[in-house]
């Protein structure tokens, strides 16, 4: 019996056959994976060939055509053709913009504005804007789910502490202004007056629209006060709806933050392939399968 296919091991720089061996599946399964994911295999193969030729020629500027052919395994005509093409020309002539390049085109390890992994996004934010240091304070620490791959902050608070190392949020209000150089928080996104909601069994929720917006106001004001000048504030937020009405919480947070004097320096989108939802017979609004990480500086 064949084991589980390891889709995460797909590598655009390898042939279909090599990927099948690595992923533990048939060639047909790899081809299906490429087709279903909308991967621009044709462009990726072309890009690999172009990069191999250019890298070799750059490292071996004195190599003869015969030596290039022997080292790369391509015909001399192919080598000459790709030597005379720029990366931009390859992109324009071969790229299918309706598909996705597995390389993220130019840089496989590029920091992107979108991910389905919040720990990846948090790591990117800390790398770009906090010199790879973790946050100094988390005001909604909960069960520390943010810290699977990044160090846990020294100062942890929550309105309803669930772990011994997490302090009551009331304590933070006694601290002086400018106590922290970096802060992160993630308020609940669920708005529900249904006491038997399946979602509420896993997430804290707000019971009214007023409570939700008040909590967002208070946390933003608290963070602004506690943050040092040029300090970093990261806010995870999400739009929500109840009884068929949409509430654009992300827009509200962004507008209030900027009015307060916080500068938005970056924005990341966290996507999800699934979401717990309450049972419903008729859908009236698009389900929310994404949330935001706003990155602010206090100027």
Q: For residue 205, what pLDDT band results from cuts at 50, 70 and 90?
A: low
Share of the chain above pLDDT 70, in %: 87
* Confidence at residue 229, expressed as pLDDT on a 0 to 100 scale: 97
3-state SS assignment for residue 252: helix
Q: What's the whole-number mean pLDDT along residues 14-39?
A: 90
DSSP string for 10-41: --TTS-HHHHHHHHTS-HHHHHHHHHHTTB-H
Better-predicted residue by pLDDT, 227 or 40: 227
Q: CA 85 → CA 52, 215, 224, 231, 292, distances in Å?
A: 13, 56, 51, 45, 39
pLDDT at residue 39 is higher than 90? no
Q: What is the mean pLDDT of the chain?
A: 86
Q: What's the whole-number mean pLDDT along residues 152-165?
A: 95
Q: What per-residue string of b and e applies to 202-237 under the rule 16 or more CB within 10 Å gives b?
A: eeebbeeeeebbeebeebbebbbebbeeebbbbbbb
pLDDT in tens, 50-85: 999 999 998 999 999 999 999 999 999 999 999 999
3-state SS assignment for residue 134: coil
Q: What's the whole-number mean pLDDT along residues 1-7?
A: 70
3-state SS assignment for residue 254: helix
pLDDT at residue 96 is higher than 80? no
Which token pair is 35? 């087709």
State the number of CA atoms in the 13 A half-sphere of 111 facing the CB. Answer: 15
Compute the C-alpha angle 34/39/40, nearest 5°: 120
pLDDT at residue 191 is higher than 70? no
């Amino acid at each position: 019996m064949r084991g589980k296919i390891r889709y995460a091991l797909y590598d655009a720089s390898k042939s279909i056959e090599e990927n099948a061996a690595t992923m533990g599946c048939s060639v047909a399964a790899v081809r299906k994976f490429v087709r279903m994911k909308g991967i621009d295999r044709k462009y990726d193969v072309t890009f690999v060939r172009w990069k191999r030729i250019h890298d070799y020629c750059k490292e071996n500027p004195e190599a003869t055509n015969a030596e290039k052919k022997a080292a790369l395994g391509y015909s001399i005509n192919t080598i000459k053709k790709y030597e005379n093409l720029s990366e931009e020309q390859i992109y324009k002539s071969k790229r299918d913009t309706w598909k996705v390049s597995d390389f993220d085109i130019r840089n496989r390890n590029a920091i992107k504005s979108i991910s389905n992994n919040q720990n990846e996004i948090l790591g990117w934010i800390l790398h770009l804007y906090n010199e790879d240091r973790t946050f100094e304070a988390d005001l909604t620490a909960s069960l520390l789910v943010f810290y699977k791959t990044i160090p846990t902050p020294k100062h942890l608070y929550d309105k309803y502490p669930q772990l011994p190392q997490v302090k009551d949020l009331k304590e933070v209000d006694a601290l002086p202004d400018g106590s922290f150089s970096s802060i992160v928080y993630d308020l609940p996104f669920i708005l529900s007056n249904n006491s038997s909601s399946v979602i509420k069994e896993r997430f804290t929720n707000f019971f009214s629209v007023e409570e939700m917006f008040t909590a967002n106001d208070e946390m933003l004001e608290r963070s602004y006060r506690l943050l040092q000048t040029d300090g970093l504030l990261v806010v995870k937020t999400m739009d929500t709806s109840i009884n068929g009405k949409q509430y654009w919480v992300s827009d509200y947070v962004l507008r209030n933050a900027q009015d307060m004097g916080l500068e938005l320096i970056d924005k990341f989108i966290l996507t999800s392939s699934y979401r717990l939802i309450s049972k419903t017979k008729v859908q009236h609004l698009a389900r929310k399968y994404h949330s935001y990480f706003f990155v602010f500086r206090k100027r």
